[in-house]
Structure 1
């Protein structure tokens, strides 16, 4: 299990990394990729791609703090924007990170300015992997199905893939991708299995957030989970209407009691280089 660091001040990263190590995390990851406005306004996440000297200082502080046997990794986007300066900054950080002892780098194929608009640039990921040679590069962006994960590996040659938004409401995507890589057939979880996972997720969230806050937090997850249900439109409406923990359990009783085959969540805009068929 990896713990991720995100912040603005370099001197904060070493002590924070030490706390993650003391908490038992197996990998320490540094986030230079988040494009969210409130993160950028606080000079965190993807903002560091605009200041390579500061970014490399952070990397050095973390790597120097974390015991040698614990891997330190980095998550970054392909730059702030499409300018040549941004590209130069990317490779300065990318190469400098490996030179400072990082074990792997995850690269998202969009710029920070793109946020989540437009496709992830898989051709750029291919160039990055070729540049890196034997160093471990993990690809990210537009991974919403097992097929898209295999397609990224095929197109880019990266060593692994990092599934992010594609796992929201669909934690089965990891095992499905692993099975597809091994040549096995895959199928979506049936309604009974969906209920088991959704119930476990809800109870963990309720334990952490409490009854008053759990529904606001879990509503968006319920909407994503509904995409796997055979009656997804009605189930989505039911999750949207939830206001209390009791309401949530009623949705499960109403829609997840009788078993039925599930469905794969639709991929509306697959990456242009993927073999995925767009949802109609």
Structure 2
């Protein structure tokens, strides 16, 4: 497969950003959205993404059984929390038993989620072993029963969407199953489908097949298709829109520690020159903002643990990425966080482009 990620001078913004789209009756203000990311896309990350230009975001993938029985535990409730400023926001569910999905979907609607998304794409081994996520791409009847039951369970104004990969593997049977689920989901009332250009077997190895995404969009016609896979820069986001014709792009791993990717993409879509990486002081301001949002949501102790995994990604944009990463690894409380900012972010200067630092982060780890 040949794919070219062009520089801004050969991107055609008129083609790539010529129309907005809606998921059911939910208007999406631009074609750049934040994906569900297990262990990452909590309310703090989503709010930050929205403030930096993401038109829509999804909460981290949650097990249907967990959502239905979440109780009153603060940490569990934090997993479901929605802020007023982040609408529209989607909640993503994963499971294996079709009967477990309806009560979980209803709970997410009650918590304020505008869209219910179903995960049929997670490639993690323990998820597949429990017949969840990407495993269901091999079980079209079960997958479509889940879609139908969720659609029936939630109010008509709440859209139901799917996240898929292009199949379990590269066999003809997997391709047939993909199309059966894809077409069947729309027939059962799905409002949009996000397609990742790798198979489940590939996990995150090898390139995402954008030619397949283009074929899916041609097949779908006016139905809403969102593309996913290998979106680690603004140029890649616009290139996917331009080359595949998908209605939107879903940024997953490329948004961890890099909320600037959304505004950078919007600038290219508007025909503006590429924005530079954020300066050190711009990074500092966002790090403070993200910490405050996480503290508000989780409390200091949990925020300290949660923010370490974000911080080592933020470090990639700093001119001294390894030293900053090592310093953030030791953060436990607010004072530790501020000490790292005082040490490495006091003097302003240009930032670093993190686009080449791609690592193995899964957008799902089994949920909880």
Q: Equivalent residues in 2 for 1:23-172 (5 A)?
A: 23-172=111-260
The alignment partner of 1:162 has SS state of strand
The alignment partner of 1:35 has SS state of coil
Please tell me whether the aligned partners of residues 137 and 167 of structure 2 are also in contact (alpha carbons under 8 angstroms): yes
CA positional deviation for 1:107 = 0.1
CA distance, structure 2, for counterparts of residue 108 and residue 123 of structure 1: 11
Deviations 1:15-39 (A, max 9, x none): 1111111112111111111111222
CA distance, structure 1, for counterparts of residue 246 and residue 356 of structure 2: 22
What does residue 263 of structure 1 align with?
352
CA positional deviation for 1:204 = 3.0
Asked whether 1:5 is paired with 2:93, we answer yes
Please tell me whether the aligned partners of residues 301 and 332 of structure 2 are also in contact (alpha carbons under 8 angstroms): no
CA positional deviation for 1:59 = 0.1
CA positional deviation for 1:206 = 3.6
Deviations 1:110-166 (A, max 9, x none): 111111111101111111111111111110000000000111112211111000000
Q: How many residues align?
A: 269
Please tell me whether the aligned partners of residues 139 and 152 of structure 1 are also in contact (alpha carbons under 8 angstroms): yes
What does residue 278 of structure 1 align with?
none
The alignment partner of 2:303 has SS state of helix
Mean alpha-carbon deviation: is it higher for 158-167 or for 254-263?
254-263
* Alignment match of 2:277 (pick from 181, 185, 188): 188
The alignment partner of 1:85 has SS state of helix
The alignment partner of 1:227 has SS state of helix
Deviations 1:196-225 (A, max 9, x none): 221222233344444444333322211110
* Alignment match of 1:227 (pick from 297, 306, 316): 316
Could you tell me which runs of 5 or more consecutive residues in structure 1 were left unpaired when the two chains were aligned.
270-280
Please tell me whether the aligned partners of residues 316 and 357 of structure 2 are also in contact (alpha carbons under 8 angstroms): no
Please tell me whether the aligned partners of residues 255 and 261 of structure 2 are also in contact (alpha carbons under 8 angstroms): yes
> If the length of structure 2 is used for normalisation, what is the TM-score?
0.70
Please tell me whether the aligned partners of residues 29 and 74 of structure 1 are also in contact (alpha carbons under 8 angstroms): yes
CA RMSD of aligned residues (A): 1.6
Mean alpha-carbon deviation: is it higher for 16-25 or for 194-203?
194-203
CA distance, structure 2, for counterparts of residue 140 and residue 154 of structure 1: 14
CA distance, structure 2, for counterparts of residue 62 and residue 29 of structure 1: 9
Please tell me whether the aligned partners of residues 197 and 210 of structure 2 are also in contact (alpha carbons under 8 angstroms): yes
CA positional deviation for 1:256 = 1.3
CA positional deviation for 1:86 = 0.7
CA distance, structure 2, for counterparts of residue 113 and residue 217 of structure 1: 29
CA positional deviation for 1:268 = 5.2
Please tell me whether the aligned partners of residues 145 and 267 of structure 1 are also in contact (alpha carbons under 8 angstroms): no
CA positional deviation for 1:234 = 2.1
